[in-house]
A = this chain, B = another copy of it.
Amino acid sequence: MSASVLFMSMSLDGFIADPADRLGGSDGNRLHHWLLTDDGEGFRSDEPAAGLLAEYTASGAIVAGRRTVEIVDHWGGDHHGMPIFVPSHRPPGPSVADMPLVTYVSDGIASAMAQAKAAAGDRDVLVHGGYTARRALEAGVLDELGILQIPVLLGRGRRLFDELPAEIELDIVRVVDTPEATHLRYRVRR
C-alpha cells in the first residue's frame, strides 16, 4: 500500500538548515554530502546513496512545505517528474503559473496528502519540510519517516522537530550504517 514518507537530512543536533537556509558547512551543502559527488555538482552513483535516490525517485508524488519549495522555486517545476502538492493558505507566487505539476492546496495538510496519494496511485508520497512534517504528524497523515542523520553538530538553524501536542511512538523499520550518514527509517505507530 502507498505510504507517505518524510525524507530529510538532519544533523545529530536536529537541524535541517543553518540560519541562512543553507545546509551547513563552508559549501552550504554539509547535510547533503552523503548524496553528492565530490565536486558537489551531481548525485553519487555508488551505494547506498544511489539506491536511496532510486527509491526516492520511484515515489509517485511530493507534499512539500511552502518554505522548502520557495527556496528552490519549486525545483523549476519538475522534481523527477512527480506532481508536487504544497499546502498553503496563501495563493502561490507568479512562477507557479508555468508549472503544471505544482498544485497549491489551501484546505490543509490532510487534503494535500489525500490529493498526493490519489496522484501517486500505489507508489509512495514523499514529504519534505519541517513544518509540513509536524503538521502531517499532528493530523495523523504521515506514515513513515526516513531520516538521513548526519554526523555533524550544526549548532544552530532550523529544526526538523519542534513541539508536538502529544508523544508519538515509532517502530524502527530499517537502519543503514554508513560512514557519512546513518539512514534511519521509522513507521508511525497508530
**Restricting to A150-177, which residues have a CB under 8 Å from any CB of B?**
151-156, 159-172, 175, 177
- Name the residue on B nearest A150 (C-beta): B170
Report yes or no: A155 in contact with B167, Cβ–Cβ below 8 A. yes
Name A168's contact: one of B155, B168, B169 (CB within 8 Å).
Answer: B155
Smallest CB separation, A166 vs chain B (Å): 6
Indicate how many identical chains form the complex: 2
- Name the residue on B nearest A151 (C-beta): B170
Given A153-B164, A164-B156, A175-B177, check contact A170 B12 (CB 8 Å).
yes
A127 part of interface (Cβ distance < 8 Å): no
Report yes or no: B163 in contact with A156, Cβ–Cβ below 8 A. yes
- Name the residue on B nearest A163 (C-beta): B156
| A residues adjacent to B (C-beta < 8 A) | 12-14, 24-25, 30, 137, 145, 147, 149, 151-156, 159-172, 175, 177, 179, 182, 184, 186
